[in-house]
Amino acid sequence: MTKLRERKNNRKAVLRSLYGAVEHNRPEVSGSTLRAELGLPDEDLSAACVYLADEGLINVDWTSHRTPAAVSLTHEGIRLMEEREEEREERETQEQEDRPRPQLHEQE
């Protein structure tokens, strides 16, 4: 059984991968591409997709074997990922501003 931390990491990885695809004008990713990119077993990928779909963050077309055939971010999923990106950029900017700057000594 997959541990909670692993399940959360799997879900985050799916969202990051799909958001990366959207940034490259690929609104939909095949399940096999996602599986290969993330290196997840079918069972773990399916579990992550079920959770994210139930949360309204992704759309999933399923195969007859209940594995993802095609996956895409919903509008809410894109908004969530954009918010995370903005927060990360703000943190990085704040960290840069908080760093001590070298003092230049004036020559007399």
pLDDT, position 93: 87
Alpha carbon of residue 65 to chain centroid: 25
pLDDT, position 7: 96
108 residues of the chain, pLDDT tens digit each: 679 999 999 999 999 999 999 999 999 999 999 999 999 999 999 999 999 999 999 999 999 999 999 999 999 999 999 999 999 999 888 888 877 777 766 665
Q: Cβ distance 66 to 46 under 8 Å?
A: yes
- Distant-in-sequence, close-in-space partners of 68: CB < 8 Å, separation ≥ 6: 31, 34, 35, 45, 46, 49, 60, 61, 62
Q: Rounded to two decimals, what is the model's pTM?
A: 0.84
pLDDT, position 1: 65
pLDDT, position 105: 66
Which residue stretches of 2-99 are H helix? 4-23, 31-38, 42-54, 75-98
Token pair 């949360």 in the structure block, residue? 55
pLDDT, position 108: 55
Q: In what order do the strands lie in the sheet with 29-30?
A: 29-30, 68-73, 58-62
